[in-house]
Amino acid sequence: MSKIKIALFGLGTIGTGVADIFLNKKEHIRKITGHDVSLAQICDKDTLSKRDINIPSDILTNNPDSIFNNPEISVGIELIGGIEPARTFVLQLLNNGKNVVTANKALLAQHGAELFEAARRNNCTIAFEAAVCGGIPIISSIATSLQANTILSINAIVNGTSNFILSQMEDGGTSYSDAVKEAQKLGYAEANPAMDVDGTDAVQKLTILAQLGFGADIDWKNISRMGIESVDAIDFKFAKNLGYRIKLLAVANRGDDGLELHVAPTLVKRDSPLARVHNAFNAVQVVGDYVGPAFFQGLGAGRKPTASAVVGDVIDTILGRTKITFDTLNLWNKNNEIVPIKNINNFYGKSYLRFDAEDRPGVMRDFAAVFGKKNISIASMIQHEISNPDNNNSNKQRAVIILITHESSEGDLLEAIKELENIPSIQGKIIRMRVQD
Amino acid sequence: MSKIKIALFGLGTIGTGVADIFLNKKEHIRKITGHDVSLAQICDKDTLSKRDINIPSDILTNNPDSIFNNPEISVGIELIGGIEPARTFVLQLLNNGKNVVTANKALLAQHGAELFEAARRNNCTIAFEAAVCGGIPIISSIATSLQANTILSINAIVNGTSNFILSQMEDGGTSYSDAVKEAQKLGYAEANPAMDVDGTDAVQKLTILAQLGFGADIDWKNISRMGIESVDAIDFKFAKNLGYRIKLLAVANRGDDGLELHVAPTLVKRDSPLARVHNAFNAVQVVGDYVGPAFFQGLGAGRKPTASAVVGDVIDTILGRTKITFDTLNLWNKNNEIVPIKNINNFYGKSYLRFDAEDRPGVMRDFAAVFGKKNISIASMIQHEISNPDNNNSNKQRAVIILITHESSEGDLLEAIKELENIPSIQGKIIRMRVQD
């Protein structure tokens, strides 16, 4: 039995979970790997705070070089998060011939090409199951088990924070701001939850899924993105009446004319598996040409589920499965065939729109004319009088208009929205969500 | 690029799907494996019938020896099903140094030890993703992605035929026999569906999951098994009133005193993920000590989903991932630690019971006395007058009694059932299901 030494960067929530497994399930890991695997070094800028597991003080350091320069370390786990210093540390690990396991979706979405190129150059590997949907084995399932398939679509709830907020609003009638506070109280949301609720986190994970499932290399900033900040209690009420729930969906959809990618709050049919994913759970529905729909659900974040994925990757790396997968997938390789990404204006789909308008004759004619001009037909519409109009406008009766369109092109829809927002009798922004049947 | 030749035994429904992928997705497989993989030989006793895909006639044979003796074949796929000749063919493949991919749950459940021993002796591998839940990557997820976890429980719907029948009865109000006919019409059930509806198929799959997830080596015939043949429309009605759906569940549950294994029609809470698995879908809920609950759903049978799993395994075998997994799992090895299996009498759980009784004073006292003696307390009870009593007994009023017990030991419950069946005023068998909250 040989000794294998690994190192960990970042002793936060997930790092503590990973350290916990390596320190307390040594025999379990020895049985699987046949090796004496030890967590030999942990690097964190904070070496003083007490953690809620017992970390031997001699393995904790704030000097990353002591890991890069340690020839005994063969695997480095990056759990710092964000771009820097994570990017530099991962490159240093690879350049020193160490394999990398990371949970960092932002880093992969932004610097995947650079890091994977560095890994190939150094004959090393990068494993990243934990970067998307925490404990759900979605990366390995697409990378290996489903490999006979051409992936046709991926529809996923990848952000637990926003799913928790939407669930609270839908099931508990909570307001958006109260739901955010509740998520923060329970540790599901950061003090600043912007990246979760504005769809950034979801788009970064979708970028990784799009690379893995479709070979698509796209800058995550170029993916169409809508967040959940404008979703209101009234939307859940109307969605429910129409037979839908509202979920922040990340979608990759292969079409004849390219790959459609977007993140948006989406009305999904109440009886679909994705509609029933509640609170902090994540879920992915993959459709393959042979397997058909395969659905995965689990805890997408948090200390233990994410640690489960990280340690799974470390074991795969030690056993050599990661090397095989890394070589065959050949991700983020600039020599790969370019997968065409569909122009957003050519997306086709149904939309949900909500806006406030003056409640007087002629207003409906005005906005109906806009839709008519853009060839967008309305599938259903609800007009609902606002009982407490703004004080500023108290002399005018106002109504909230909610409508669902038939399929239209995104280009036409976006132009229609712009025109609607210019109609004087329509007040404020048009709130828009996608609709999936 | 090297040439890799594989062979297939059994050109039935799934075999045709597998052949379809190898013949028509050659470039896809070449991209992943880096090899020119060809389906060089197909063995079926029927070489004459026309299949609905175009099979080159020169690769079809009814002589298995021509495959065993072909030194160019490195992987053999066994899709014959059943015990013989599948067992002999698999042993022959292994003894001739060929790796095996199989979808045969009956064979593994019954002869796993013999076959895995033969594989180890010959330095070969056996892969079997398709043997449990068709296209759902449950074997590889437990074997690799979730490997950091100690598996705590597996609850699964592994038989699509019975799930289809139960769904038809529940959603469509269909009778059991009509639901079976519908399943046969749609190709979900064999002409003789006994192995599906009596739980044999589920028990065999549970045997494999128990070996993989818990290291349990048990003869599938010794697993507690109840089928769905006695489930009646009235059960769905009452289950619904009580907030449950009825599913044929395969359960493996790790306890301090051993592993609990059983297959039974089970009342599951309507809002649980397993309750929402409809028609021919399969699903598995795995709970690990770190990942928490991970839920997988997909098509568990049929040509394309099962072929997806088989070809995934072939690719893993070619790439060498299977070898690593096979060696580390070391399944069905007689030198493995013996995992204690809980005695059925020591299972604890709630039960649903239904029986017919005379509707007269004193009857309830009689059966209440039986439960009292066995320390089984009743959580809820419904007595329902039978409007059309048997002609034979038309002079007596009869009632159907449905009750749910609090947790009791299986031993006490089985004894209570025996005593109840001896009470003269109770007619026929006691129908019993498990209840899971």
Q: A217 — phi, psi (to 5°)?
A: -110, 105
Using left for φ > 0, alpha for ψ between -120 and 50, and beta otherwise, residue B10 falls in left
Q: Which of B18, B291, B303 to mutate to test the interface with A (most CBs of A within 10 A)?
A: B291
Q: Which two structure tokens, joined as six digits, stand for B255?
A: 């306890």
Task: Measure the N-to-C terminal CA separation of chain B; round to a whole number of Å.
Answer: 55
- Residue B336 at interface with chain A, using a CB cutoff of 8 Å: no
**pLDDT at position A170:** 95
Q: What sections of B272-329 are H helices per DSSP?
A: 303-319, 321-329
Cα of A289 to nearest chain B Cα, Å: 8
- pLDDT tens across B89-148, in order? 999 999 999 999 999 999 999 999 999 999 999 999 999 999 999 999 999 999 999 999
Among B264, B245, B231, B273, residue whose Cα is nearest residue B171: B245
C-alpha radius of gyration, chain B, whole number: 24
* Catalytic residue list contains B26: no
| Stretch 275-294 of chain A: residues touching chain B, C-beta under 8 Å | 276, 288-294
**pLDDT at position A364:** 84
Q: Which two structure tokens, joined as six digits, stand for A403?
A: 């409508």
CA of B388: how far to CAs of A140, A264, B263, B395, B402, in Å?
57, 56, 33, 12, 18
**pLDDT at position A386:** 78
More reliable by pLDDT, B43 or B50: B43
Q: Which two structure tokens, joined as six digits, stand for B274?
A: 């397993």
- pLDDT tens across B64-74, in order? 999 999 999 99
Q: In this model, does residue B364 exceed pLDDT 90?
A: no
Taking domain A3-134+305-329, whether its CATH number is 3.40.50.620 is answered by no
* Binary contact (A312, B288; C-beta < 8 A): no
* Binary contact (B299, A307; C-beta < 8 A): no
DSSP summary character for residue A377: P
| Stretch 84-143 of chain B: residues touching chain A, C-beta under 8 Å | 129, 135-137, 140-141
Rounded CA separation B258/B343 (Å): 8
Cα of B227 to nearest chain A Cα, Å: 27
Q: B340 — phi, psi (to 5°)?
A: -70, 135
Q: How many residues does chain B have?
A: 437
Q: In this model, does residue B177 exceed pLDDT 90?
A: yes
Rounded CA separation B229/B224 (Å): 16
Among A269, A212, A224, residue whose Cα is nearest residue A251: A224
Cα of B250 to nearest chain A Cα, Å: 19
Q: Report helix angle B303-319 to B13-24, nearest 10.
A: 60
Residues 6+ apart with CB under 8 A from A257: A340, A342, A346
* Binary contact (B308, A129; C-beta < 8 A): no
| Stretch 27-46 of chain B: residues touching chain A, C-beta under 8 Å | 28-29, 32-34
SS (H, E, C) A235-299: HHHHHHHCCEEEEEEEEEEEECCEEEEEEEEEEEECCCHHHHCCCCEEEEEEEECCCEEEEEEEE
Dihedral Cα B392, B393, B395, B398, nearest 10 deg: -150
Average pLDDT over residues B410-426: 94
Q: Which residues of B touch A129 (CB under 8 A)?
A: 145
**pLDDT at position A393:** 53
Rounded CA separation B64/B62 (Å): 6
Report cis status (omega within 30 of 0) of the bond before A85: yes
Number of Cβ pairs closer than 8 Å across A and B? 167
Residues 6+ apart with CB under 8 A from B66: B41, B43
Q: Report helix angle B160-172 to B176-185, nearest 10.
A: 130
Among B265, B290, B286, B238, residue whose Cα is nearest residue B404: B238
Taking domain B344-436, whether its CATH number is 3.40.50.970 is answered by no
Domain ranges of chain B: 3-134+305-329, 138-299, 344-436
Rounded CA separation B75/A378 (Å): 56
Q: How wide is the angle at C-alpha B210 spanned by C-alphas B321 and A148, nearest 5°? A: 35
Task: Classify domain A138-299 by CATH number.
Answer: 3.30.360.10
Q: How wide is the angle at C-alpha B298 spanned by C-alphas B295 and B302, nearest 5°? A: 150
- Residue B19 at interface with chain A, using a CB cutoff of 8 Å: no
**pLDDT at position B390:** 55
Rounded CA separation A253/A155 (Å): 8
Q: A333 — phi, psi (to 5°)?
A: -105, 125
Q: Which candidate in A50, A98, A185, A205 is catalytic? A: A205
Rounded CA separation B213/B23 (Å): 35
CB atoms within 10 A of CB B276: 18
Nearest to B292 among A148, A149, A305 (CB): A305
Nearest residue in B to A147, CA atom: B312
Nearest to A147 among B276, B292, B315 (CB): B315
Q: Which residues of B touch A145 (CB under 8 A)?
A: 129, 137, 140-141, 309, 312
Q: How many residues does chain A have?
A: 437
Q: Which of B30, B35, B308 to mutate to test the interface with A (most CBs of A within 10 A)?
A: B308
Rounded CA separation B60/B44 (Å): 7
Rounded CA separation A218/A344 (Å): 13
Q: Which residues of A touch B144 (CB under 8 A)?
A: 137, 140, 144, 312, 316, 321
**pLDDT at position B393:** 52
**pLDDT at position B1:** 77
**pLDDT at position A395:** 59
Q: In this model, does residue B391 exceed pLDDT 60?
A: no
Q: Which residues of B touch A18 (CB under 8 A)?
A: none
Mean pLDDT, chain A cut into blocks of 10 residues (437 residues total): 95 96 97 97 94 92 98 98 97 98 98 98 98 96 98 98 96 93 89 94 98 96 96 94 96 96 97 95 98 97 95 98 98 94 94 92 87 94 74 70 95 96 91 95
Cα of B242 to nearest chain A Cα, Å: 21
**pLDDT at position A135:** 92
- pLDDT tens across B183-235, in order? 999 888 888 999 999 999 999 999 999 999 999 999 999 999 999 999 999 99
Rounded CA separation B298/B321 (Å): 23
**pLDDT at position B384:** 83
ipTM associated with this complex:
0.95
CB atoms within 10 A of CB B244: 24
Rounded CA separation A306/A132 (Å): 9
Rounded CA separation B10/B7 (Å): 10
Nearest residue in B to A294, CA atom: B298
Q: pTM (2 decimals)?
A: 0.96
Q: Which amino acid is at B332?
A: W
Q: Which candidate in B98, B205, B342, B350 is catalytic? A: B205
